[in-house]
Amino acid sequence: MKRIRIKEQYCIGCRLCEIHCIAAHSTYKYDLIRTFKHEATRPKPRIVIEEAGETCFALPCRQCTEAHCVRACITGSMKKDPQSGMVFNDPERCVACWTCIAACPYGAIVREGTHSKLAVKCDLCGDNPQCVIHCPNEALVFEDVTEEGDMG
């Protein structure tokens, strides 16, 4: 199963991962200029940078083996794909109860917008994570993770 691994020693807190994530999930897919100049309501990034002093690192969904968000979801909207192991949210079933947000120990699920009824999280950009592709220091790596190296 492929996941995003963080090498925090290389993260400089530039937030390019957040910017490219926003663009990847916007109306103008992958077009930074149009996303930031013409998008009325930009999507929230599905990866965030945590900072404490000089230490910073990216925080994407860890696609947990035992996903707390899936167990907590009251409608079955949060699901885990048995083939890829990716955890995703079915927007048609989400009722904005936010139990998935409360259950995630990593804070990797966010409310899409102020008036939205949708919880969003990293979807690995369809197996092509833009945050990884555009990280200038290669602080993010998209790679196979074995069960013993499981992050969740």
* Residue 12 pLDDT: 94
Can you give the residue ranges of every domain in the chain?
Answer: 1-60+122-145, 63-121
Q: List per-block mean pLDDT (blocks of 10 residues) for the chain, which spans 152 residues.
A: 91 95 91 88 89 88 94 96 91 93 94 82 93 96 72 52
pTM: 0.87
* Residue 54 pLDDT: 84
CATH class in words for 63-121: alpha beta
* Residue 147 pLDDT: 56
* Residue 80 pLDDT: 94
Long-range contact set of residues 141-145: C-beta below 8 Å, sequence gap at least 24: 141/4, 141/5, 141/7, 142/2, 142/3, 142/4, 142/5, 143/2, 143/3, 143/5, 144/1, 144/2, 145/1, 145/2, 145/3, 145/5
